[in-house]
Amino acid sequence: MTEGSGLPHAMPATKKPPMALSQLANPSRFLDVAEPVLPWLAGATVLALALGLNQAFAAPDDYQQGATVKIMFLHVPAAWLALFCWAVMSMAALGTLVWRHPLADVAGKTAAPIGAAFTFICLVTGALWGRPMWGAYWVWDARLTSVLILFLMYLGVIALWRAVEDPSRAARAAAILTLVGAINLPIIKFSVDWWNTLHQPASVFRIGGPAIHSSILTPLIVMAIAFALLFITLHLAAMRNEILRRRIRTLRLMQAETAAES
Partner 1 sequence: MNLGPHSGFIIAAYAMAAVTIAALVAWVWLDYRTQKRTLAEFEARGVMRRSERANPNSP
Partner 2 sequence: MTALAALLLRDIRLAVRVGGGAWMGVLFFLIVVTLVPFAVGPELSLLRRIGPAILWLGALLASLLTLDRLFAADQEDGSFDLILMGRSPLELVIVTKALAHWLTNGLPLVVAAPVFGIFFNLDSIAMAAVAVTLLAGTPALTFLGLIGAALAVTLRRGGLLVPVLILPLTIPVLIFGVSASQAAMTGPVPFGTPFTVLCALSLASLVIGPVAAAAAFRHAE
Q: Which residues bind partner 1 (CB under 8 A)?
A: 2, 4-7, 28, 31-32, 57, 61, 66-68, 70-71, 74-75, 78, 113-114, 117, 120-121, 124-125, 128-129, 131-132, 230, 234, 237-238, 240-241, 244-245, 247-248, 250-251, 254-255
Q: What would the x/- binding string for partner 2 be over residues 94 to 133, using CB under 8 A? A: ---------------------------------x------
Does residue 231 contact residue 118 with C-beta atoms inside 8 Å?
Answer: yes
For residue 66, the cross-strand partners are 62
Q: Which of 96, 110, 125, 145 binds partner 2 (CB under 8 A)?
A: 145
Say what angle helices 142-163 and 184-194 make with each other, to 10 degrees. 170
**Distance (Å, whole) CA 254 – CA 195:** 56
- Residue 140 binding: pick among partner 2, partner 1, none (C-beta 5-8 Å cut-off by kind): partner 2
Least distance in Å: CB of 158 to partner 1?
Answer: 12
Least Å distance, CB 140 to partner 2, is 3
By the 8 A CB rule, do 169 and 104 touch?
A: no
Among 37, 163, 180, 248, binds partner 2 (CB under 8 A): 163
Nearest-CA neighbor of 141 among 193, 64, 180, 204? 193
Nearest CB to partner 2, comparing residues 165 and 261 = 165
**Rounded CA separation 230/241 (Å):** 16
Please provide residue 62's backbone torsions phi and psi, each rounded to the nearest 5 degrees.
Answer: -75, 145
**Shortest CB 218 distance to partner 1, Å:** 18
CA angle in degrees (0–180, nearest 5) for 14-16-20: 155
Q: According to the 3-state scheme, what is the secondary structure of 200-232? A: CCCCCCCCCCCCCCHHHHHHHHHHHHHHHHHHH
The binder of partner 2 chosen from 33, 67, 162, 201 (CB under 8 A): 162
The interface partner of residue 37, options being partner 1, partner 2, none and the CB cut-off 5 to 8 Å by kind, is: none
For residue 62, the cross-strand partners are: 66
Q: Which of 93, 22, 105 is nearest to 9 (CA)?
A: 22
Using CB under 8 A as the binding rule, whether residue 195 contacts partner 2 is answered as: no
Q: Pick the binder of partner 2 from 117, 149, 212, 232 (CB under 8 A).
A: 149
Q: How far is the CB of 151 from partner 2 (least distance, A)?
A: 9
Min CB(188)–partner 1 separation in Å: 20
Residues that bind partner 2 (CB under 8 A): 127, 136-141, 145, 148-149, 152, 155-156, 158-159, 161-163
